[in-house]
Amino acid sequence: MKFTVNCDCTPEEARSFLGLPDLSPLHDKYIDTLMSAMDGAGSLDQMSKLINAFSPMGDAGMKLFGQMMDIGLGGAGSVTGTGGKTGKG
């Protein structure tokens, strides 16, 4: 048996319904800190360093994200006519 349930609610209502915490004050604090730090940056190089420092996992996270994008974009054009199957198993 298969059934579908559609729920029309805001993200805040969905988080509350699922019992997830409200992280909006933490998000607001993060954005305020990032914006105040960027106000003091004088060049693009300084801004890049600040963004890398504030991003999750820092520079390693940015490199990992870049690698994932390269893999995803590289694999997008490699499947031809197999319906997404590799022919294995």
Q: Which of 25, 6, 26 is nearest to 14 (CA)?
A: 6
17, part of any domain: no
Give a yes or no: residue 82 inside a domain.
no
56 part of a folded domain: yes
For residue 56, the SS3 value is coil
Task: Show the tokens assigned to 71.
Answer: 């893999």
Decide if 13 is inside a domain.
no
Residue 89 is predicted with a pLDDT of 46
78 is a domain residue: no
Residues spanned by the domain of 47: 22-73
Using one digit for the tens of pLDDT, what is the confidence trace for 19-31?
Answer: 988 888 888 998 8
In a domain, 54, yes or no: yes
Q: pLDDT grade, residue 4 (50/70/90)? A: very high
**Residue 52 belongs to a domain:** yes
Q: Is the pLDDT of residue 73 over 50?
A: yes
Q: Which of 66, 61, 35 is nearest to 50 (CA)?
A: 35
The rounded distance, in Å, linking the Cα atoms of 23 and 28 is 9
What is the number of structural domains in the chain? Answer: 1
Residues contacting 72, CB < 8 A, separation 6+:
none
